[in-house]
Structure formats: structure tokens, C-alpha cells
Amino acid sequence: MKTERTRRTPRWPIALLLLVGLVVTAAPALADEAAADDDIQRALAQARAVERDLVGVLDEVTRASVTVVHHARLPARLRGQGRSPLFVNGAGSGVLVSYRGTHVVTNAHVVAGASNVEIITRDGRHIPVTVRAKDESRDLAVLTLPDDVGTIPSVTLEQRATTNLREGAWVVATGNPFMLAHDGHGAATLGVFSGARAAPRKGMGSGSNYLLQHDAEINPGNSGGPLWNRRGDLLGINGAIVTRSMRLGGGPSYTGTSISVPVTQVRSFLDRVLAPPAKAPVKAAKVETPTPKRAEAPKRIARQPVARTSASRLGLRVRTSVDAQNRPDGALVIRVARTSSLRASRGRGLQSGDRITRVTRGGKQYPVRSSQDLESALSDLATTQGVSIQYVRGRRNLTWSGSLDAVRRQ
């Protein structure tokens, strides 16, 4: 996948002084018999209702959407008199999230190498924040707010946001494209959800099991900013665009394909970095995907043509296996790719018909009751070196162990 990442942008300074304009000019508003067109009146009433809903959602979501800037200190030899000046070194977007406290979630690449990070909220506050944790493979970072931040708007992570997501759903992106939200008022763009897509095999975003594609306009600077559904639920974190604009004689900008990290990944990332380490991963899996019915990936999405999950990156195709009482009891292997190092040869390894029941890695055990459990268990592969997979073949309990790095090169 050729994906141009959104880039940092240079700066434009800010300030806040809104003048609401008065209408000075008005052409004579002549009533005309032609206006008594019932159809148009009815359509207009309906259109205004849609518009009201949109205005309402945007007012709500832009509260939690923030601008993220980081400053660099000028080298000593370039400093003038007085204090050493700071200048804006990079910028992106973020979202205020309430989950085990209130934090700012953004892309890891927005705060890469950053030390003096600041967020700008819609009410114009500049708030210094610290980078608490980053996950480059998922391209997510969480920023900690200072203790004295006071009341600040935020959103919760809603399970319903992605479970019911279908192609054609309306989405809204807010953020700081090209530093155009230096005043903290996120710029909003409207689009439709286009489907779940394969995560790249390498690099940023590869840690997610799938990504969201949509056509709300995302540009450099939107990175780290939120993607919302029509109810104002957080759907994901905008991170990348696929663009051809350079070939059309310009810089990198939106040309129809925007990519976001799904909110489920945000949640499992926060689970991992904000909770006590011993409990975190298992709990994460449980919170996210207690049953296949409330799967991490919406059903329709999981079936996307090329949605390459963590399992499929290992060359596995699985589906949830059920017992005689129709209860999920593992991940049934449908197919093992010829190139997969998990493939059975000389009696060792997986073959179709095997039922995966448990994944162990890094000394932690992940019970697998559904294909989604397997996804969760494998979802942050990049950070793990070794893995063992327990599975049932016929009546035998077997185990495959190996290095994930070796597997991923296949």
C-alpha cells in the first residue's frame, strides 16, 4: 500500500477575536407565487433538520478536538537576548479522551522526538502536556494533562461506535490541517465511511489489525485528530492519506482516500499503557471482545476483501468455532497459507481444522474463544518476540512455539 503519511506543517500564529458580521446588503426579498411550492418547502424543512443535526454534532465534537503543537528550543548560538526562544517545530491534532482519567490521544508520529508539547483547545487555552506513552506500530500516543488543568471537555470511548459501522455511513473529521486550527477551533470535514482496510505490513499503523478508510478530507496536520460518526462518537484517529496530489503539481494533500486507526485500537492501547502491566493485556481482550457477537471489528468489516488481520499476516485464516451448545470455544483454522511458518510440516504446526484455544506470549496467557480473541491476542505483535499457540486437533492438545519476527518475515 502506498500511503503518504500526513506531515508536520509549519506554523501560523493565533489569537481569538471573533466578530459576528451583520447583514448590510440585501437584495429585495420579493415573495413570489412560484415560492408556494409545497415540495420545495417540505424538502427545505427536511434539509434544515439535517443541517441542525450536523451543526449540533459539530458543536459537540469540536469541543474535544484539539490542536497539538510541539516546540523546539533554538540552539544556543542562534539565541538573541533574553530567554531562549521557542519555535513551533511540528503540529498535528488530537482528541481529549476520558478513559481511566482524561488524556489527549494523538498519533505517535505527531509527537515523534517532541519535548515541549502543547495542546490548544477550542476555548483558546494553551495547555502544556507530556508524552506518557507511544506505540509506533499502531501510530498512537497518549499525552498527560497537567494536574491543574481544571474542567476540560472530553469524549468517552463508545463500544457502539465501530460495531455498527457500515460503508456509506457519514463521518466527520476534525483537526488542524496545515495548521489552519492554530486557534484551537478544529476544522471540520464531512465524508462517508468507505470500509475497513488492511493495515500495512510494516511501519506505522502495522500494529492495528485493520484500519478505517473514509473520504472525509484529511490533510497534513490532521494527523492524530479524531474521526467521528454522526452521533458524535469517536470512530478513530486520523493518521494518513493516500494521495496523488504531488503528481498533479502540488504538495501532499487529500485526493479521496483517508485512513484512520480504529477506536478499538485506541482502547486497547490505553488499556495497555494506563493500567497495571500485569493485568492489562488479558483485561484488554476481555473488555473489547467478550463474545463474538460484540466483536472488535464489525462483522461486515471483518469480511472486507483484503482486510488483513494480524492472523492473516501470519498466513492464517480463522473463524470463530462453536461447541454443540453453540457457544464460542476457539478460533477454527480455515486455511494456512503455503508460505506461513505456522503451516504444518513434519507433524509440527497448524493445519485447517485445528482449533486455537490459547495464545501465550511474553509470559502472559490469552484465552482464545473467538477469532476476535485471536486478533486481540496477536494485535501488538511488533512488541513481542516469542509466541506459543495452543490448539486442539481431534482429541489432542498441541502447541506451536516460535518467534514472531521470523513468522512476520514470511
Partner 1 sequence: MRSISRLLPAVFVSAALALVGACLPSANASGEALAQVEAEFRAAIQRLTPATVIVVPQRARGGRAGFSSGVIVSKDGLVLSDGDAGLVFRQREGKQVRVRQDAVNVRVPNPETGAFRTYRARVLFRNTTVDTSLVKILEPPPRGFIHVPPGHSDQLRVGDFALAVGSQTFEDGGTQPALTAGIVASFEHNKAGSKEGRYAYIFISAAVNEGVNGGPLVDLDGRLVGTISTYLTPEEDEPFQFLGKAVPMDRIRAAMVDVPEAQKLFAAKVPAGEPNTPAHALEAVFRAAAKATHPAVVSLVIDRKRPVSGSSPLGQKTIDMPRFRGPVSGILLTQDGHVATSLYNVTNVASLVEPFWEAPDDADVDGGVADVEAAVVHLAGGGSAPAELVGVDTRYGVALFKADPDALREAGGADVLPTLASAPASAFQRGRFVLALGNPFGAKRRPTPLLTMGILSKRHPDTAAAPWRGQWQTDAAGLDSNAGGPVIDIEGRLVGMLTLWLPAKHGRNSGIAFVLSQEELMASARFLMEGGARQRGFLGVEFARGIAPVLQNVIDGSSADDGGLEAGDRILAIDGHPTGTLIDAVTVIRHRTAGETVRVRYQRGDETLETEFTLGTRPEED
Which residues ranging from 253 to 282 are in contact with partner 1 (CB under 8 A)? 253-257
Q: Of 98-106, 179-187, 281-289, 399-407, which part binds partner 1 (CB under 8 A)?
A: 179-187
Q: Binding partner 1 by CB under 8 A: which of 91, 97, 181, 331?
A: 181
In the window 234-253, what residues touch partner 1 (CB under 8 A)?
Answer: 242, 244-245, 248-251, 253
CA dihedral (60, 61, 66, 67) positive or negative: negative
The identity of residue 186, as a single letter, is: G
- CB of residue 318 vs partner 1: minimum separation in angstroms? 12
Q: Does 128 bind partner 1 (CB under 8 A)?
A: no
Stretch that binds partner 1, among 93-101, 303-311, 320-328, 387-395 (CB under 8 A): 303-311
One residue of 128, 306, 399, 403 binding partner 1 per CB under 8 A:
306
Q: How far is CA 248 from CA 222, 241, 245, 251, 254, in A?
A: 21, 15, 5, 9, 12
| Region near partner 1 per CB under 8 A, out of 37-45, 128-136, 262-270, 378-386 | 37-45
Q: Judged by CB under 8 A, which of 15, 151, 325, 395 binds partner 1?
A: 15
- Asked whether position 187 contacts partner 1 by CB under 8 A, the answer is yes
CB closer to partner 1 out of 248 and 324? 248
If the CB atoms of residues 82 and 276 are measured against partner 1, the closer one turns out to be 82
Among 16, 150, 277, 338, binds partner 1 (CB under 8 A): 16
Strand partners, 392: 355, 397
Question: Alpha carbon of 215 to those of 9, 171, 218, 327, 381: distances in Å?
Answer: 21, 8, 8, 38, 29
Closest CA to 6 of 278, 350, 255, 333: 255
By the rule CB under 8 A, 25 interacts with partner 1: yes
- Among residues 339 and 345, whose Cβ is nearest to partner 1? 339
Q: Pick between residue 73 and residue 286 the one whose CB is nearest to partner 1.
A: 73
Cα–Cα separations (whole angstroms), residue 307 to 212, 215, 266, 302, 368: 10, 18, 19, 7, 20
Nearest distance, CB of residue 238 and partner 1, angstroms: 12
d(CA 149, CA 169): 35
Please count the residues of this chain forming the interface with partner 1, following the rule CB under 8 A: 106
Do the bridges between strand 140-144 and strand 102-106 make them parallel or antiparallel, or are there none, so unpaired? antiparallel
Q: Which residues of 80-90 are buried (b: 16+ CB within 10 A; e: fewer)?
A: eeeeeeeebbb
Which of 51-59, 273-281, 336-344, 360-368 is the region at the interface with partner 1 (rule: CB under 8 A)? 51-59
216 binding partner 1? (CB under 8 A):
yes
> CB 153 → partner 1: shortest distance, Å?
16
CA distances from 399 to 12, 281, 320, 389 (A): 57, 21, 19, 6
393-408 burial, b for 16+ CB within 10 Å, e for fewer?
A: eeeeebebeeebeebb
If the CB atoms of residues 306 and 406 are measured against partner 1, the closer one turns out to be 306
As measured in angstroms, the least distance from the Cβ of 4 to partner 1 is 11
Least Cα distance to 267 among 305, 294, 304 occurs for 294
Residue 209 contacts partner 1 per CB under 8 A: no
Stretch that binds partner 1, among 190-198, 345-353, 374-382, 397-405 (CB under 8 A): 190-198
The reply on whether position 52 binds partner 1 by CB under 8 A is yes
Q: Which of residues 71-100 bind partner 1 (CB under 8 A)?
A: 74, 78-82, 85-87
Q: How far apart are CA 155 and CA 100, in angstroms?
A: 12
Residue among 136, 139, 217, 296 that touches partner 1 (CB under 8 A): 217
- Does the footprint of partner 1 cover residue 296 (CB under 8 A)? no
Q: Looking at 160-168, 376-384, 389-397, 399-407, which segment touches partner 1 (CB under 8 A)?
A: 160-168
DSSP 8-state symbol, 205: T
Residues 6+ away with beta carbon under 8 Å from 335: 316, 317, 352
Alpha-carbon distance of 250 to 253, in angstroms, equals: 8
Any contact of residue 123 with partner 1 (CB under 8 A)? no
Query: How far apart are alpha carbons 248 and 251 in whole angstroms?
Result: 9
Backbone phi and psi for residue 201, each to the nearest 5 degrees, phi listed first: -70, -30
Interface residue with partner 1 among 139, 215, 329, 375 (CB under 8 A) is 215
